[in-house]
């Protein structure tokens, strides 16, 4: 069974912000003649990388709730220009919306077992996606999502 990573999506106010950021970064890489891939850099290298790249996802916490995920395709440890070990977690560009699941703030990232991960929004959740982000946030804060 795949293992996931849970991460705060700092700087994003909504899933739409994350989608725009990913699109911007991919376009920027294309313009620069670089491979059009998306990644997130972390300081710590996951020790359970084989489990993660076997179908695991990065679940993003936005404004206090898990709201979406991206499939993790590769984990690339590297050393930055200052000699500090870091890790690129390569992500599929598609952002999959999930049921909202409240989460308290934390630093870094956490492993997230498949059985603890929120379900993807199916066809029945399409109406939720169409709600304005502010309204979705208010409903989540009231415990209605």
| Mean per-residue pLDDT, 7-27 | 95
- SS3 of the chain: the string is CCEEEEEECCCCCCHHHHHHHHHHHHHHHHHCCCCCCEEEEECCCCCCHHHHCCCCEEEEEECCEEEEEEEEEEEEEEECCCCCEEEEEEECCCCEEEEEEECCCCCCEEEEEHHHCCCECCHHHHHHHHCCHHHHHHHHHCCCC
Task: Dump pLDDT digits (tens) for 42-83.
Answer: 998 999 999 999 999 999 999 999 999 999 999 999 999 999
User: Which pTM does this prediction carry?
Assistant: 0.84
The mean-pLDDT minimum among 14-28, 72-86, 128-142 falls in 128-142
Indicate the average pLDDT of the chain. 89
């Amino acid at each position: 069974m795949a293992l996931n990573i849970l991460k705060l999506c700092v700087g994003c106010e909504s899933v739409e912000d994350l989608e725009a950021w990913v699109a911007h970064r991919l376009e920027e890489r294309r313009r620069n003649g670089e491979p059009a891939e998306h990644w997130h850099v972390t300081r710590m290298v996951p020790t359970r990388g084989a489990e993660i790249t076997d179908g695991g996802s990065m679940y993003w916490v936005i404004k206090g709730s898990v709201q979406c995920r991206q499939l993790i395709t590769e984990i690339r440890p590297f050393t930055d220009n200052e000699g500090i070990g870091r890790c690129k977690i390569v992500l599929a560009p598609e952002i999959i919306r999930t049921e909202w699941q409240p989460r308290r703030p934390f630093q870094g990232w956490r492993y997230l077992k498949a059985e603890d991960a929120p379900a993807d929004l199916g066809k029945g959740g399409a109406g939720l996606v169409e709600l304005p982000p502010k309204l979705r946030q208010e409903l989540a804060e009231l415990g209605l999502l």
